[in-house]
Amino acid sequence: AQSVTQLGSHVSVSEGALVLLRCNYSSSVPPYLFWYVQYPNQGLQLLLKYTSAATLVKGINDFEAEFKKSETSFHLTKPSAHMSDAAEYFCAVSGYSGGYNKLIFGAGTRLAVHP
């Protein structure tokens, strides 16, 4: 069965600093992986997704993630944090359960950005 672990429920960075949010997955088949962002009082928006094309995936707002099969990781990075990046971030993997495809979400990482 597929699963996702996000390391660190809270991450705090200074404005301009590197953002690194960690995600490890477990999957018995080649995975489809996603990062979603949730801004305060809003729904989830797709940041980026890995669908077995390039291992380095670029998303919106200068975020990117690298798929590393050997490490079963899909960490999210951004070179320079902005105040507007403060949000909750969810990593997810597509998986089959009960015969149907579902998304399995991690518990989320809340990113705080300080001036």
Q: Which stretch binds other proteins (CB under 8 A): 17-25, 37-45, 53-61, 70-78?
A: 37-45
90/113 with CB nearer other proteins: 90
Rounded CA-CA distance 2/25 in Å is 7
CB of 24 to other proteins, least distance (A): 15
Using CB under 8 A, which of the segments 26-34, 58-66, 68-76, 77-85 binds other proteins? Answer: 26-34
Nearest to 20 by CA among 65, 60, 68: 65
**How many whole angstroms separate alpha carbon 18 and alpha carbon 33?**
22
Cα-to-chain-centroid distance, residue 115: 23
Does residue 54 touch other proteins according to CB under 8 A? no
